[in-house]
Amino acid sequence: MATWSAPGKVFLFGEHAVVFGKPGIAMAIKPRVYVTVRKARNPARVNSPYIESCFEEMGVTGSVYIHSQLPSSSGLGSSAAVTVATLFAINDEFNLKYDRNQLASMAYKIEKKVQHGRASPTDTYVSTFGGLVLIKDNKRRRMPPENFNIVIGNTLVSHKTTELVAMVSEFRKNNPLVVDPILDAIEAVTTRSMHNFHNLKVLGRYMDVNHALLEALGVGHPMLSRLVSASRAAGAYGAKMTGAGGGGCMIALCPKRSKSKVAGAIEAADGRAIITTIDTEGARKE
């Protein structure tokens, strides 16, 4: 029997713009998915195309038990975390000897297959390697970790990343003169943020700007605005939607002392709050 876990992720800066080759910053977060795999001739039926594909890809059969701390379909990368943890657990239980890089690309391949061609390699990368990740020129690499105090607000409004990405792409195709400067501004905010990781006030301000730019791209939602405003009023340095938008989650960068107050404000505004910070470990044996 082998149990492995893998973390979820948030985008700190640059979502949507990364689709057009701009830089982005993502971070692994503490809520994790735990997967236990055991060799079995007759596998128990699982209700997840991700897990089925993991066994298929590895060419083995087994039983599986999942425990997730991550809400699904909210843009926190839960499908990537399930896929990554399952692949690592199968690899261990069956002694298949794939390395971390091979398992990361396998996880991306599976996400792509299950999501019919459109998946973000960022989710599987962050979940596999953990920490703070810079996406640049369509490549990903780890940066030195930072201990940001983050409160996540889940709007509980479901969204479809594929549809939002397609919508932005259509908007850009028809209005390049309007949309390209917005993407350039997101790039500038992302790049400047890297020079201000230790200046949380400035970083918070950049999050506010990034949020406004994402709204200008058309991926806002009234519940996101509500949770973002509530967080700022409760003392956050700044707040923005995270991921595809149109619902899903927002993040607030907080002074340590106001984490609970911000979380309370999110709950009072009908969101679900998760107080979290960076998870520097990626996939991990339990």
Write out the residues near ligand PMV by the rule CB under 6 A: 11, 15-16, 18-19, 75, 120, 122-123, 161, 165, 243-244, 248
Q: How far is the CB of 175 from ligand PMV (least distance, A)?
A: 18
Instruction: Map 149-179 to HEC letters.
Output: CEEEEECCCCCCHHHHHHHHHHHHHHCHHHH
CA dist., res. 5 & res. 33, Å (int): 5
Q: How far is the CB of 51 from ligand PMV (least distance, A)?
A: 19
Q: How far is the CB of 75 from ligand PMV (least distance, A)?
A: 3
Q: Which residues are catalytic?
A: 123
* Residue type present at position 24: G
Q: How far is the CB of 125 from ligand PMV (least distance, A)?
A: 11
- CB nearer to ligand PMV: give 75 or 204: 75
Task: Map tokens 């605005």 to a residue.
Answer: 225
Spell out a b/e string for 61-81, using b for 16 or more CB atoms within 10 Å of the CB, else e.
ebebebebbbbeebbbbbbbb
- CB nearer to ligand PMV: give 58 or 252: 252
Output the residue with the shortest Cβ distance to ligand PMV: 243
Structure tokens at 13: 């800066």
- CB nearer to ligand PMV: give 82 or 244: 244
CA dist., res. 139 & res. 149, Å (int): 26
- CB nearer to ligand PMV: give 75 or 220: 75
**Could you give the residue ranges of the DSSP H alpha helices within 3-96?**
49-58, 78-93
